[in-house]
Amino acid sequence: MGYNHWVPSDNVKALFEFIAYFESDGKKYDVSEELGFDPYRYHDQANHFINLLYCSNIIVSFDWSNWSKEANAYFNSPSLIVDADLITIRRLFTTIIRADRFVSGYYAGKLDAGIVLILLKRLKILCDINQN
């Protein structure tokens, strides 16, 4: 599936079921007090969301680490996300998920900041526009 020629699938539609989950105040992860490589333990639904991002081809192959300046502009000013295009939304999701492999708790921080929810809502709008 091409990076620029992406079509929403049923897997993408399943992502939108997570909007209520991310809007809730419930915990999405735990932090272990034991010393270890990664103290963050994401709850099943938060992990399932990551898997669906991959299954729906939202996660893309690109040099996300060299794109961090652009990503941080969106993360530091979430109001920019409401005008982001599909490629940018995919890159932002990719940056969050891939960065969490190298920076423990990166995904947790974006959950807490509401960034994942904002990205998901923007993705839904873009998919709704594509279907009309």
Q: Answer yes or no: is pLDDT of 53 > 60.
A: yes
Q: Answer yes or no: is pLDDT of 3 > 60.
A: no
Q: CA separation (Å) from 82 to 26, 52, 100, 117?
A: 25, 22, 23, 12
Q: Answer yes or no: is pLDDT of 1 > 50.
A: no
Residue 64's closest CA among 88, 91, 38, 44? Answer: 91
State the pTM of this model.
0.91
Q: What is the mean pLDDT of residues 86-102?
A: 96
